[in-house]
Amino acid sequence: MTLEQLRIFVGVAEREHMTKAAAALNITQSAASASIAALEAQHGVPLFHRIGRRIELTDAGRKFLDEARAVLGRAASAELVLSDFNQLKRGTLSLVVSQTIAGYWLPRYLAAFRALHPQIKLDVAIANTEQAVQSILAGTAELGFAEGAINDPAIIHWPIAHDRLVLIGVDLPPRIDEQWVRSAHWVMRERGSGTRSTFEETLRRRGIDPDTINIALTLPSNESVLTAVEAGAGVAVLSALVVDRAINTGTLHPFPFELPTRPFFGLRHKERYQSKAACALLNCIKDGTR
Protein backbone atom coordinates (compact mmCIF):
# COMPACT_ATOMS: atom_id res chain seq x y z
CA MET A 1 0.00 0.00 0.00
CA THR A 2 1.43 3.35 -1.04
CA LEU A 3 0.49 6.96 -0.36
CA GLU A 4 -0.32 7.31 -4.06
CA GLN A 5 -2.81 4.42 -3.82
CA LEU A 6 -4.41 6.05 -0.79
CA ARG A 7 -4.58 9.41 -2.60
CA ILE A 8 -6.33 7.80 -5.58
CA PHE A 9 -8.69 5.81 -3.35
CA VAL A 10 -9.75 8.93 -1.42
CA GLY A 11 -10.24 10.88 -4.65
CA VAL A 12 -12.47 8.17 -6.10
CA ALA A 13 -14.32 7.56 -2.82
CA GLU A 14 -15.16 11.21 -2.30
CA ARG A 15 -16.63 11.51 -5.80
CA GLU A 16 -17.85 7.92 -6.23
CA HIS A 17 -16.97 8.44 -9.86
CA MET A 18 -13.83 7.09 -11.53
CA THR A 19 -13.66 9.52 -14.46
CA LYS A 20 -14.20 12.65 -12.37
CA ALA A 21 -11.70 11.49 -9.77
CA ALA A 22 -9.09 10.72 -12.46
CA ALA A 23 -9.54 14.19 -13.95
CA ALA A 24 -9.22 15.85 -10.52
CA LEU A 25 -6.08 13.81 -9.72
CA ASN A 26 -4.60 14.51 -13.16
CA ILE A 27 -4.22 10.84 -14.04
CA THR A 28 -5.91 8.62 -16.62
CA GLN A 29 -9.08 6.72 -15.81
CA SER A 30 -7.30 3.43 -16.49
CA ALA A 31 -4.54 4.37 -13.99
CA ALA A 32 -7.15 5.16 -11.34
CA SER A 33 -9.02 1.90 -11.98
CA ALA A 34 -5.80 -0.12 -11.90
CA SER A 35 -4.73 1.44 -8.59
CA ILE A 36 -8.07 0.66 -6.92
CA ALA A 37 -8.06 -2.89 -8.32
CA ALA A 38 -4.52 -3.47 -7.05
CA LEU A 39 -5.43 -2.20 -3.59
CA GLU A 40 -8.48 -4.50 -3.43
CA ALA A 41 -6.55 -7.50 -4.73
CA GLN A 42 -3.65 -6.93 -2.33
CA HIS A 43 -5.93 -7.18 0.70
CA GLY A 44 -8.72 -9.34 -0.71
CA VAL A 45 -11.38 -6.81 0.24
CA PRO A 46 -13.73 -5.03 -2.20
CA LEU A 47 -13.81 -1.30 -1.55
CA PHE A 48 -16.51 -0.34 -4.07
CA HIS A 49 -19.77 -1.83 -5.38
CA ARG A 50 -19.86 -1.68 -9.18
CA ILE A 51 -23.50 -1.02 -10.07
CA GLY A 52 -23.86 -0.50 -13.79
CA ARG A 53 -21.82 2.60 -14.53
CA ARG A 54 -21.94 3.75 -10.94
CA ILE A 55 -19.69 2.88 -8.03
CA GLU A 56 -20.51 3.01 -4.34
CA LEU A 57 -18.37 2.44 -1.28
CA THR A 58 -18.75 -0.89 0.47
CA ASP A 59 -18.90 -0.99 4.26
CA ALA A 60 -15.17 -1.80 4.30
CA GLY A 61 -14.58 1.08 1.88
CA ARG A 62 -16.38 3.59 4.15
CA LYS A 63 -14.34 2.54 7.18
CA PHE A 64 -11.13 2.51 5.15
CA LEU A 65 -11.86 6.04 3.88
CA ASP A 66 -11.54 7.50 7.38
CA GLU A 67 -8.23 5.74 7.92
CA ALA A 68 -6.89 6.70 4.50
CA ARG A 69 -7.75 10.37 5.11
CA ALA A 70 -5.98 10.22 8.48
CA VAL A 71 -2.83 8.68 6.96
CA LEU A 72 -2.74 11.26 4.18
CA GLY A 73 -3.24 14.00 6.76
CA ARG A 74 -0.31 12.72 8.82
CA ALA A 75 1.83 12.46 5.70
CA ALA A 76 0.99 16.06 4.83
CA SER A 77 1.89 17.13 8.37
CA ALA A 78 5.19 15.27 8.16
CA GLU A 79 5.97 16.93 4.85
CA LEU A 80 5.15 20.32 6.39
CA VAL A 81 7.59 19.66 9.24
CA LEU A 82 10.42 18.99 6.79
CA SER A 83 9.41 22.01 4.74
CA ASP A 84 9.45 24.21 7.87
CA PHE A 85 12.93 22.97 8.77
CA ASN A 86 14.07 23.61 5.21
CA GLN A 87 12.65 27.14 5.28
CA LEU A 88 13.89 27.84 8.85
CA LYS A 89 10.37 28.11 10.25
CA ARG A 90 11.02 25.70 13.12
CA GLY A 91 13.80 23.81 14.85
CA THR A 92 16.49 24.19 17.50
CA LEU A 93 20.13 25.08 16.93
CA SER A 94 22.34 23.80 19.76
CA LEU A 95 25.62 25.63 20.35
CA VAL A 96 28.52 25.20 22.75
CA VAL A 97 30.58 28.33 23.22
CA SER A 98 33.62 29.34 25.24
CA GLN A 99 33.21 32.03 27.89
CA THR A 100 35.09 34.78 26.09
CA ILE A 101 33.19 34.23 22.85
CA ALA A 102 29.81 33.86 24.58
CA GLY A 103 30.25 36.94 26.74
CA TYR A 104 31.82 39.38 24.33
CA TRP A 105 31.92 38.33 20.68
CA LEU A 106 28.99 36.10 19.72
CA PRO A 107 25.87 37.88 21.14
CA ARG A 108 25.54 40.42 18.32
CA TYR A 109 25.55 37.62 15.75
CA LEU A 110 22.95 35.66 17.72
CA ALA A 111 20.79 38.81 17.80
CA ALA A 112 21.13 39.20 14.02
CA PHE A 113 20.21 35.54 13.52
CA ARG A 114 17.14 35.82 15.76
CA ALA A 115 15.97 38.90 13.87
CA LEU A 116 16.11 36.94 10.61
CA HIS A 117 14.81 33.61 11.96
CA PRO A 118 12.68 34.25 15.08
CA GLN A 119 11.09 30.77 14.99
CA ILE A 120 14.41 28.95 15.44
CA LYS A 121 15.24 28.29 19.08
CA LEU A 122 18.87 28.85 20.09
CA ASP A 123 20.19 26.54 22.81
CA VAL A 124 23.57 27.90 23.98
CA ALA A 125 25.82 26.10 26.47
CA ILE A 126 28.94 27.72 27.96
CA ALA A 127 32.08 25.59 28.19
CA ASN A 128 35.83 25.76 27.87
CA THR A 129 37.53 24.53 24.70
CA GLU A 130 37.99 20.93 25.85
CA GLN A 131 34.38 20.70 26.99
CA ALA A 132 33.19 22.23 23.71
CA VAL A 133 34.99 19.51 21.75
CA GLN A 134 33.37 16.82 23.92
CA SER A 135 29.91 18.31 23.33
CA ILE A 136 30.42 18.27 19.56
CA LEU A 137 31.68 14.68 19.70
CA ALA A 138 28.71 13.59 21.83
CA GLY A 139 26.22 15.34 19.54
CA THR A 140 24.76 17.52 22.30
CA ALA A 141 25.77 20.57 20.27
CA GLU A 142 25.83 20.98 16.50
CA LEU A 143 28.16 23.98 16.35
CA GLY A 144 30.88 25.17 18.69
CA PHE A 145 32.92 28.33 19.00
CA ALA A 146 36.17 28.25 20.97
CA GLU A 147 39.63 29.77 21.02
CA GLY A 148 41.86 26.93 22.19
CA ALA A 149 43.81 24.37 20.18
CA ILE A 150 41.70 21.54 18.74
CA ASN A 151 43.46 18.30 17.85
CA ASP A 152 40.65 15.75 17.57
CA PRO A 153 40.50 14.32 14.02
CA ALA A 154 36.71 13.96 14.21
CA ILE A 155 36.29 17.73 14.63
CA ILE A 156 36.43 20.16 11.73
CA HIS A 157 37.63 23.57 12.95
CA TRP A 158 38.26 26.75 11.04
CA PRO A 159 39.19 30.33 12.02
CA ILE A 160 36.10 32.49 12.17
CA ALA A 161 37.48 35.63 13.86
CA HIS A 162 40.59 36.85 15.70
CA ASP A 163 41.25 38.04 19.22
CA ARG A 164 44.07 39.89 20.96
CA LEU A 165 45.40 38.82 24.36
CA VAL A 166 46.61 41.40 26.89
CA LEU A 167 48.71 41.09 30.04
CA ILE A 168 47.11 43.31 32.68
CA GLY A 169 47.64 44.34 36.29
CA VAL A 170 47.11 47.20 38.73
CA ASP A 171 50.67 48.58 38.73
CA LEU A 172 53.19 48.48 35.93
CA PRO A 173 56.40 46.67 36.92
CA PRO A 174 59.72 48.46 36.25
CA ARG A 175 60.86 45.61 34.01
CA ILE A 176 59.26 42.54 32.44
CA ASP A 177 61.80 39.78 31.92
CA GLU A 178 62.01 36.05 32.47
CA GLN A 179 62.68 36.46 36.19
CA TRP A 180 59.63 38.70 36.58
CA VAL A 181 57.45 36.20 34.65
CA ARG A 182 58.51 33.40 36.99
CA SER A 183 58.03 35.39 40.19
CA ALA A 184 54.86 37.37 39.40
CA HIS A 185 51.62 36.30 41.08
CA TRP A 186 49.52 34.92 38.24
CA VAL A 187 45.74 34.71 38.28
CA MET A 188 44.80 32.02 35.77
CA ARG A 189 41.78 30.43 34.14
CA GLU A 190 41.24 26.70 34.69
CA ARG A 191 43.05 24.05 32.64
CA GLY A 192 41.18 23.39 29.41
CA SER A 193 40.51 27.10 28.91
CA GLY A 194 41.55 28.43 25.51
CA THR A 195 42.92 31.61 27.12
CA ARG A 196 45.16 29.60 29.43
CA SER A 197 46.36 27.17 26.76
CA THR A 198 47.29 30.05 24.41
CA PHE A 199 49.22 31.84 27.16
CA GLU A 200 51.02 28.64 28.19
CA GLU A 201 52.07 28.01 24.58
CA THR A 202 53.44 31.58 24.44
CA LEU A 203 55.54 30.89 27.54
CA ARG A 204 56.93 27.68 26.03
CA ARG A 205 57.99 29.58 22.92
CA ARG A 206 59.90 31.94 25.20
CA GLY A 207 61.62 28.98 26.84
CA ILE A 208 59.58 29.15 30.06
CA ASP A 209 57.90 26.04 31.44
CA PRO A 210 54.33 27.07 32.45
CA ASP A 211 54.61 24.75 35.47
CA THR A 212 57.43 26.89 36.88
CA ILE A 213 55.51 30.17 37.14
CA ASN A 214 53.89 31.29 40.40
CA ILE A 215 50.11 30.70 40.07
CA ALA A 216 48.42 32.52 42.95
CA LEU A 217 44.82 31.78 41.93
CA THR A 218 43.02 29.58 39.44
CA LEU A 219 39.49 30.78 38.69
CA PRO A 220 36.73 29.45 36.45
CA SER A 221 35.67 32.56 34.51
CA ASN A 222 37.03 35.65 32.80
CA GLU A 223 35.03 37.90 35.13
CA SER A 224 36.38 36.27 38.30
CA VAL A 225 39.95 36.57 36.99
CA LEU A 226 39.37 40.22 36.10
CA THR A 227 37.86 41.00 39.51
CA ALA A 228 40.75 39.28 41.32
CA VAL A 229 43.33 41.27 39.36
CA GLU A 230 41.46 44.52 40.05
CA ALA A 231 41.55 43.59 43.75
CA GLY A 232 45.34 43.28 43.60
CA ALA A 233 45.64 39.49 43.66
CA GLY A 234 48.14 39.47 40.83
CA VAL A 235 48.43 39.76 37.05
CA ALA A 236 46.63 37.91 34.29
CA VAL A 237 46.41 37.39 30.57
CA LEU A 238 42.90 37.91 29.22
CA SER A 239 41.20 38.78 25.95
CA ALA A 240 41.19 42.45 24.98
CA LEU A 241 37.41 42.04 24.69
CA VAL A 242 37.31 41.32 28.43
CA VAL A 243 39.74 43.98 29.69
CA ASP A 244 39.23 46.95 27.35
CA ARG A 245 36.72 48.66 29.65
CA ALA A 246 38.95 48.30 32.72
CA ILE A 247 41.91 49.67 30.77
CA ASN A 248 39.88 52.60 29.43
CA THR A 249 38.71 53.56 32.92
CA GLY A 250 42.23 53.27 34.33
CA THR A 251 41.37 50.48 36.75
CA LEU A 252 43.98 48.23 35.14
CA HIS A 253 47.00 48.78 32.94
CA PRO A 254 48.20 46.84 29.90
CA PHE A 255 51.77 45.60 30.28
CA PRO A 256 54.31 45.74 27.42
CA PHE A 257 54.40 42.00 26.91
CA GLU A 258 54.08 40.65 23.38
CA LEU A 259 51.27 38.12 23.00
CA PRO A 260 49.98 36.51 19.80
CA THR A 261 46.74 37.32 18.08
CA ARG A 262 44.72 34.14 18.40
CA PRO A 263 41.91 32.83 16.23
CA PHE A 264 38.40 32.10 17.35
CA PHE A 265 37.45 28.75 15.82
CA GLY A 266 34.16 27.40 14.58
CA LEU A 267 33.75 23.69 15.35
CA ARG A 268 31.55 20.95 14.00
CA HIS A 269 31.61 17.19 13.72
CA LYS A 270 33.26 15.90 10.58
CA GLU A 271 30.56 13.32 9.79
CA ARG A 272 27.34 14.93 11.02
CA TYR A 273 24.90 16.73 8.75
CA GLN A 274 24.98 20.52 9.04
CA SER A 275 21.49 21.94 9.40
CA LYS A 276 20.17 24.92 7.48
CA ALA A 277 19.93 26.79 10.79
CA ALA A 278 23.66 26.26 11.40
CA CYS A 279 24.44 27.44 7.87
CA ALA A 280 22.27 30.52 8.42
CA LEU A 281 24.09 31.45 11.65
CA LEU A 282 27.49 31.02 9.98
CA ASN A 283 26.30 33.28 7.16
CA CYS A 284 25.27 35.93 9.70
CA ILE A 285 28.77 35.78 11.18
CA LYS A 286 30.40 35.91 7.76
CA ASP A 287 28.31 38.93 6.76
CA GLY A 288 29.08 40.70 10.02
CA THR A 289 32.85 40.17 9.88
CA ARG A 290 33.31 41.44 6.33
CA distance 118 to 60: 47
What percent of the chain has pLDDT above 70? Answer: 99
Which pLDDT belongs to residue 178? 92
pLDDT computed for residue 289 by the predictor: 60
What is the pLDDT, as a whole number, of residue 55?
A: 86
245 and 114 in a single domain? The answer is no
Arithmetic mean of pLDDT over the chain? 90
Give the pLDDT mean for 105-113. 94
Residues 11 and 74 in one domain: yes
- Residues 172, 100 share a domain: no
Q: Are residues 168 and 256 in the same domain?
A: yes
Count up the domains in the chain and report the number: 3
Quick one: pLDDT at residue 288? Answer: 78
Q: Do 219 and 181 form a contact (C-beta atoms < 8 A)? A: no
- Please give the pLDDT value at position 275: 87
Return the amino acid letter for 127.
A
Q: Is the pLDDT of residue 170 over 60?
A: yes
Same domain, 144 and 273: yes
pLDDT score for 207 = 94
142-146: average pLDDT: 94
Residues 174 and 220 in one domain: yes
203 plus 139 within the same structural domain: no
Interatomic CA distance for residues 186 and 188, integer angstroms: 6
Closest by CA position to 150, among listed 238, 6, 262, 67: 262
Of the listed ranges 4-13, 180-189, 233-242, the least confidently predicted one is 4-13
Please indicate, yes or no, whether residues 120 and 238 belong to a single structural domain of this protein: no
Judge if 154 and 190 occupy the same domain.
no
15 CB contacts (<8 Å, ≥6 apart)? Answer: 21, 24
CATH number assigned to the domain comprising residue 49: 1.10.10.10
pLDDT in tens, 211-246: 999 999 999 999 999 999 999 999 999 999 999 999
Distance of alpha carbon 148 from alpha carbon 195, whole angstroms: 7
CATH number of the domain encompassing residue 148? 3.40.190.10
Residue 88 has pLDDT above 90, yes or no: no
Q: What is the pLDDT of residues 37-61, one digit of tens each?
A: 998 898 898 988 888 778 888 899 8
Last residue of a domain, one of 63, 86, 109: 86
Local confidence band at 72 (pLDDT 50, 70, 90 cut-offs): confident
The verdict on 123 and 171 lying in the same domain is: no
Domain identity same for 96 and 210 = no
pLDDT band of 290, cuts 50, 70, 90: low
Phi and psi torsions of 150, nearest 5°: -120, 125
Count, residues in the chain: 290
Q: How far apart (Å, rounded) are the C-alpha atoms in residues 239 and 38?
A: 70
- The residue among 86, 102, 120 that closes a domain is 86
User: How far, rounded to the nearest angstrom, does the alpha carbon of residue 37 sit from its chain's CA centroid?
Assistant: 49
pLDDT greater than 90 at residue 254: yes
Instruction: Tell me the whole-structure pTM to 2 decimals.
Output: 0.68
Same-domain check for residues 271 and 132: yes
Average pLDDT on 174-182 reads: 93
Q: Which domain holds residue 282?
A: 92-162+263-288
